[in-house]
A = this chain, B = another copy of it.
Amino acid sequence: MKKTPPLHGIIAYPITPLRDDGSLDLPLLAALVERMVSAGVHGIAPLGSTGILPYLTDDEREAVTETALRQVAGRVPTLVGVSSLTTARAIHHARFAERAGATAVMVLPMSYWKLTDAEILTHVDAIARAIGIPIAIYNNPATAGVDLTPELIARLLEIPNVTMVKESTGDVNRMHRLVQLCGDDVAFYNGSNPLALAAFAAGARGWCTAAPHLIPALNLALHDAITRGDLDAARRAFHAQLPLLRFMKEHGLPRVIAAGLTLTGTPVGPLRAPLLPLPERHVAELRRLLVDLGALPA
C-alpha cells in the first residue's frame, strides 16, 4: 500500500457552503464538487480546513461526507477529513467515512493541551486500527496548534495504513527531511498554497488546495508542467497564480473562497460565526487579482 498511494495531482478542497439561516447548503456543495471534478482535478477532499471541519456538528460532518462522496461517485479518489479533538470522535468519523465509501481519510492531530509524541502516536494508531482504508496524516501547526516533526511523521508512517502525509508548514525543508528519513517513495503532499512549486520540485505527489474553486486550469497547468519535466513552464504557471495563492493564505481560505465564488457568479452564504466575510477592502483587492487572472471580466 505504501508504494501506490491512492491520491496524486491536484486534490481539491471544497468549502462547506451555508444558507443564510446558517444551515448547510448541500445542493450548492454538490454543485461545487461537480464543477471541480468536471474541471479535471485529480481528487476531492471534503471536510478539510477549507471545509471548516472543526466548526461543524457531528451531524453536519456526516451530511457533508455523504453529499460529497455521492456527487464524486467514484470518478476520482476522495480524502475525507475526520479530525477531532478527542480520539473517540475521530474514530467515529473515520468509520463513518469508510462506510460512506471514502478512498482515504485525513487525520490532523488537533490540540488544546499540547500533545506529546506518545499521545499523537496512540491517537493515530487507534484511528488506524478502527478502519481498513488508508490514512493521510496532516501537519498544520498554524491551525492545529501542534507541530509534527519529520521524525514523528516517520514514526506515524510505520502504522500500516498510514500511507500519506500532508505537510502544511510551508517549509520545503520539512519535505526534504522526510524523504531523507523515509526514502524516495514516501508519499507526501503539499498543503501550503504558496509552496506549490517548491513542493513539486521536491517530489510531492500532490497539491492539496482550495484554489480549484477559482482557478482550476492554472492549478492543473502547474501540475502538468511538472509532470512533463518542464521547469520553466512550471515556474511561469506558478508565478501567474502566486499573487492569488498568497492572498488566500493571508486572509484565510474560507473567507477568500466564499468571496471569490460570489464575485465569479456563485453566491455563497455567510460563514459560521465567529468567522466573518472577507472585509470589503479585501474583496476589492481580490477582484483585481481575479481580473488579472482572467477569472473575472475587467
Residues of A within 8 A of B (CB): 22, 49, 52, 54-55, 85-88, 109, 111-116, 118-120, 122-123, 126, 142-145, 170-173, 176-177, 179-180, 184, 194-195, 197-198, 201-203, 226, 229-232, 235, 238-239, 242-243, 246, 252-255, 272-276, 279
Contacts and interface: CB of A to CB of B under 8 A. Distances in A.
Nearest to A90: B274
A86 B273 contact: yes
B198 A201 contact: yes
A247 B180 CA distance: 13
A interface secondary structure, majority: helix
A173 B195 contact: yes
Nearest to A120: B274
Given A126-B273, A198-B202, A243-B180, A114 B87 contact: no
A108 B109 CA distance: 21
B273 A87 contact: yes
Q: Identify which of A49, A144, A172, A235 gathers the most chain B CB atoms within 10 Å of its CB.
A: A172
Contact of A197 (B142, B201, B243, B246): B201
A294 B57 CA distance: 47
Contacts of A201: 197-198, 201, 231, 235
Nearest to A203: B235
A25 B255 CA distance: 41
Contacts of A123: 273-274
A255 B118 CA distance: 13
A252 B112 CA distance: 11
B273 A113 contact: no
B173 A194 contact: yes
A269 to B, nearest CB: 15
